[in-house]
């Protein structure tokens, strides 16, 4: 297995996909997981040494038990089941941080973080929960990491001990525990996209903040070119789904991109950012309403006037929130939640509580040097509060948790991040994937002007009877 550099880098047949799904029969696919692990080790090694080919002799010299005495090695092995031991015997240890969020191998019991869970392996002297990869100390003071459940042979990634409340009881959070190969595949996908980048990054000059967040060898980029491409493709598929359901004679005669650079200059949209790259390439939708109550910005002057946040000076390497699709004539008073969210990008936030804020779909305001920024993200700012009566039959986040009572911005957002991170917004690409499903399922109706229903249609998320499921995006990275 992986006896040559070409073999260790030839990973496509091991990646999880619809055509090549993860093992779901309650056992660990340890050979597949070892291949995925060793690929990430090789990526890190090549970046660290500036080489295009990994030195397998150098990589193989580091194993999970390196530096342990025999007694410690034996004690560790005794707590592990045979499949996990087989995985460990096939993998290499990284000489630097293994991945952006994790320092490297840990192989420590964490049963004391899951005290409410039964351990059917206890009579055999085995731990049920093992931290395989330890969260990097930069991400929390009570680090945990990728936790492997030896009883169910599934893994989750509570970055800190406090995150455990999001993934237990285990039997009530089944959608947040995955085959280990699924987590490793997602990390490799981020590397291949260019979202997570191995290699030491030195910014021009010495001034900080930088245009990315770096943890040791690995950097997290606020967006990458592949995200621009995939988001455009997803949004144009959505527009096509809407247009195909409209009367042909009601389609607008438009073929140009949604915006020119001059249009965005007038709206104070920053240069060289995700949202400018998106809007200058996106085909203009041939209808008025892109979602219930949200208008396509055919009027460029009105678009520029509505940019309350883009016109506020932003900090270096920060990108303000841009109002993409407005709910015309619907505003909400600036409050603590909205201020906290949009202030991310600004040094001097000049608006006052109570000032009217245009509602609609915004790009995510970001500070690029933050560890969990997502410039390709969004916030749907509503003119009404979610869960105003604190109901349990109401809007929920991706992990099934209730949105905060009184929130104006949490619809369609992440809850627990199952593949790493804690705070970043949901991606715009994922939103339009979900909206396409709502169109195709007939949850949203299309008429002569596009998607019908005012912005109050989004109140359906609070209507009980599992209506929230239409307004929730499944867990993903």
**CA pair distance 178, 186, nearest whole angstrom:** 11
Q: Count the Cβ atoms, other than its own, within 10 Å of residue 295.
A: 20
Residue in the structure block whose two tokens are 């900080």: 208
**What is the spatial distance between Cα 173 and Cα 170, in angstroms, rounded to a whole number?**
5
| DSSP per-residue string spanning 424-474 | PPPBHHHHHHHHHHHHHTTSS-EETTEE-S-GGGGGGGGSSTTGGGGG---
Which secondary-structure segment (H or E) carries 241?
helix 225-243
Tens of pLDDT along the chain (477 residues)?
A: 666 888 899 999 999 999 999 999 999 999 999 999 999 999 999 999 999 999 988 998 888 887 778 888 899 999 999 999 999 999 999 999 999 999 999 999 999 999 999 999 999 999 999 999 999 999 988 999 999 999 999 999 999 999 999 999 999 999 999 999 999 999 999 999 999 999 876 666 545 446 889 898 999 999 999 999 999 999 999 999 999 999 999 999 998 999 999 999 999 999 999 999 999 999 999 999 999 999 999 999 999 999 999 988 888 889 999 999 999 999 999 999 999 999 988 877 788 899 999 999 999 999 998 889 999 999 999 999 999 999 999 999 999 999 999 999 999 999 999 999 999 999 999 999 999 999 999 999 999 999 999 999 999 999 988 999 999 999 999
Measured over the CA atoms of residue 377, residue 477, residue 117 and residue 114, the dihedral's sign is negative
For residue 207, the model assigns a pLDDT of: 52
Cβ-Cβ contacts under 8 Å for 294 (sequence gap 6 or more): 325, 326, 327, 360, 361, 451, 455
- Give the C-alpha separation, 181 to 32, whole Å: 7
Contact between residue 132 and residue 105 where contact means Cβ atoms under 8 Å apart: yes
Work out the number of other CB atoms within 10 angstroms of the CB of residue 208. 9
Instruction: Compute the distance between CA of residue 181 and CA of residue 178 in angstroms, rounded to an integer.
Output: 8
CA-CA distance, 198 to 98, in Å (whole number)?
Answer: 10
Q: Is the dihedral of CA 108, 111, 112, 114 positive or negative?
A: positive
145: left (phi over 0), alpha (psi -120 to 50) or beta: left
């Amino acid at each position: 297995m992986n006896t040559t550099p070409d073999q260790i880098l030839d990973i496509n047949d091991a990646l999880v996909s619809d055509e090549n799904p993860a093992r779901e029969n309650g056992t660990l696919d340890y050979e597949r997981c070892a291949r995925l692990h060793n690929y990430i080790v090789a990526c890190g090694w090549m970046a660290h040494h500036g080489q295009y080919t990994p030195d397998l002799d150098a990589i193989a010299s580091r194993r999970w038990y390196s530096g342990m005495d025999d007694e410690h090695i034996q004690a560790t092995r005794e707590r592990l089941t045979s499949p996990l031991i087989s995985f460990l015997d096939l993998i290499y240890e990284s000489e630097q941080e293994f991945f952006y969020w994790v320092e490297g191998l840990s192989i420590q019991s964490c049963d004391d973080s899951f005290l409410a869970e039964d351990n059917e392996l206890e009579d055999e002297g085995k731990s049920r929960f093992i931290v395989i990869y330890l969260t990097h100390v930069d991400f929390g003071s009570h680090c945990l990491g990728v936790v492997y459940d030896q009883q169910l042979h599934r893994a989750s990634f509570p970055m800190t001990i406090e995150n455990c409340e999001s993934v237990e009881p285990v039997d009530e959070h089944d959608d947040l525990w995955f085959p280990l190969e699924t987590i490793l595949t997602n990390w490799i996908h981020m590397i291949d996209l260019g979202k997570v980048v191995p290699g030491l990054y030195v910014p021009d000059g010495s001034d900080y903040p930088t245009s990315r967040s770096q943890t040791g060898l690995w950097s997290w980029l606020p967006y990458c070119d592949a995200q621009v491409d995939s988001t455009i493709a997803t949004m144009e598929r959505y527009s096509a789904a809407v247009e195909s359901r409209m009367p042909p004679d009601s389609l607008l005669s438009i073929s140009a991109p949604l915006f020119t650079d001059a249009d965005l200059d007038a709206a104070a949209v920053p240069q060289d950012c995700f949202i400018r790259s998106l809007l200058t390439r996106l085909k203009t939708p041939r209808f008025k309403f892109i979602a219930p109550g949200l208008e396509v910005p055919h009027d460029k002057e009105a678009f520029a006037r509505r940019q309350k946040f883009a016109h506020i000076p932003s900090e270096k390497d920060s990108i303000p929130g841009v109002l993409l699709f407005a709910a015309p004539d619907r505003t909400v008073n600036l409050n603590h939640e909205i201020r906290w969210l949009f202030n991310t990008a600004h040094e001097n936030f000049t608006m006052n509580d109570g000032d009217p804020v245009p509602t609609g779909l915004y790009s995510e305001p970001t500070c690029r040097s933050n560890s969990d920024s997502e410039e390709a993200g969004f916030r749907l700012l509503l003119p009404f509060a979610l869960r105003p009566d604190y109901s349990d039959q109401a809007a929920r986040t991706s992990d099934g948790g209730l949105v905060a009572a009184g929130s104006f911005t949490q619809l369609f957002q992440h809850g627990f991040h199952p593949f790493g991170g804690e705070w970043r917004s949901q991606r715009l690409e994922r939103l339009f994937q979900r909206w396409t499903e709502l169109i195709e399922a007939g949850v949203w109706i299309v008429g002569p002007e596009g998607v019908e229903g005012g912005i109050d249609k989004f109140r359906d998320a609070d209507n009980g009877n599992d209506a929230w499921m239409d307004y929730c995006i499944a867990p993903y990275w």
